[in-house]
Amino acid sequence: MERIVNVKNASGLHARPAGMFVKKAAEFKSTVEVSAKGKTVNAKSIMGIMSLGLAQGDELTIIANGEDQEAAINALAELIESGFGE
* 32 has a pLDDT exceeding 80: yes
pLDDT at position 86, please?
76
- High-pLDDT (> 70) share of the chain, %: 100
The per-residue pLDDT for range 42-78, each reduced to its tens digit, is: 999 999 999 999 999 999 999 999 999 999 999 999 9
Q: Is the separation of the CB atoms in 34 and 49 below 8 Å?
A: yes
Q: Give me the domains of the chain, ranges plus CATH numbers.
A: 2-85 (3.30.1340.10)
- 6 has a pLDDT exceeding 80: yes
| Catalytic residue check, 19 | no
Catalytic-labelled residue, pool 11, 12, 14, 66:
14
Percentage of the chain exceeding pLDDT 90: 95
The predicted pLDDT at position 60 comes to 97
